[in-house]
Amino acid sequence: MAGAGVKLLNKRIRSVKSTQQITKAMKMVAASKLQRSQGNMLAARPYSHKLTDLMEQLAGKTDIADPLFEVRPIRNRLYLVIASDKGLCGSYNMNVLKVAQRAVDTSIAEGVETQIYAVGRKVADFFKKRDYSVLASNEDFGGEINSERANLVGRALVESFISEQFDEVRVIYSSFISTMTQKPVDLPILPIAPDQAVSGEENEESRAVDYIWEPSQEEMFKVLLPLYLRNRVFMTLAEGFTSEHAARMVSMSAATDNAGDLIKDLTLQRNRERQAGITADLLDIVGGSNAL
């Protein structure tokens, strides 16, 4: 029996070691993607801050008469929900989906026709299985953001708002705070409120700067407004995907460490079983010798 127990433990140890190799490889891949995604996000922030500063200047000096600023009674609402295409990233997806489901249920309870624009296969599957209305989905981004994908999503949001298909568009995603911390948030995108063009991170000196505008302020505003909105969508997707890679790296790191601890425990148990088998054999030999 002892021999059978040792063989079973050896089989379990080999299985756990194989799993540990997989989780270690996934951790390294996630770490590489996190470094690239975080680098892109940080590189885009200065542009985003300067664009926000220019929008603040123009919003304070220009009469805003753009459809994207039109505030209407909310009869139809669209939620852009951003999560991942794949799992194995801890509680990342579930944290976002819990916030999203609670927000959608509240919106429906208020009598507002509510639909979901899903970015990520996990989002689309979650809401479709529960019979929510899913307007569209992008399930092939793979946690990688670029300007084309941001423009694709941003264009769909703008068209649905300007056509009055929806009176409000909101986004739910995981805000990247640090590698260990990501926080799901629910923020409005459309209509653009005038105070959304004000950055809380800008200091008073930058607010006091006045610019010489060529051509007119109104024409500059019309050019910068679409850029500002696309940039908001890009930064939102960038933060969501960076959070995904961070969560997966942390999750796979914990899984690798847990596999190592399990291998140590199984190895100790196997050695005890093997020693117990050897002791039993020795006792049988000694007992037979004494009997002779």
Query: Residue 23, Cβ neighbours under 10 Å: how many?
Result: 19
pLDDT in tens, 159-169: 999 999 999 99
SS in 3 state form for the chain? CHHHHHHHHHHHHHHHHHHHHHHHHHHHHHHHHHHHHHHHHHHHHHHHHHHHHHHHHHHHHCCCCCHHHCCCCCCEEEEEEECCCCCCCCCHHHHHHHHHHHHHHHHHHCCCEEEEEEECHHHHHHHHHCCCCEEEEECCCCCCCCHHHHHHHHHHHHHHHHCCCCCEEEEEEEEEEECCEEEEEEEEEECCCHHHHCCCCCCHHHHHCCCCCCCCHHHHHHHHHHHHHHHHHHHHHHHHHHHHHHHHHHHHHHHHHHHHHHHHHHHHHHHHHHHHHHHHHHHHHHHHHHHC
User: Residues 175-228: pLDDT tens digits?
Assistant: 999 889 899 999 999 888 655 544 444 444 445 556 676 776 777 777 778 888
Architecture of domain 31-249: 3-Layer(aba) Sandwich (3.40)
**Structure tokens that stand for 207 in this block:** 């607010």
| β-strand partners of 187 | 171
Q: What is the average pLDDT across 236-249? A: 93
pLDDT at 17 over 80: yes
pLDDT of residue 242: 94
| Residue that has been written with the tokens 């942390």 in this structure | 250
Residue 176: closest CA among 46, 32, 43, 42? 42
Mean pLDDT of the chain, nearest integer: 85
**Least confident among 100-104, 166-170, 227-231, 237-241:** 227-231
- Residue pair 219/61 in contact (Cβ under 8 Å)? The answer is no
The ranges assigned to domains in the chain are: 31-249
What's this model's pTM, rounded to 2 decimal places?
Answer: 0.83
Q: Cα–Cα distance between 241 and 128 in angstroms, integer? A: 22
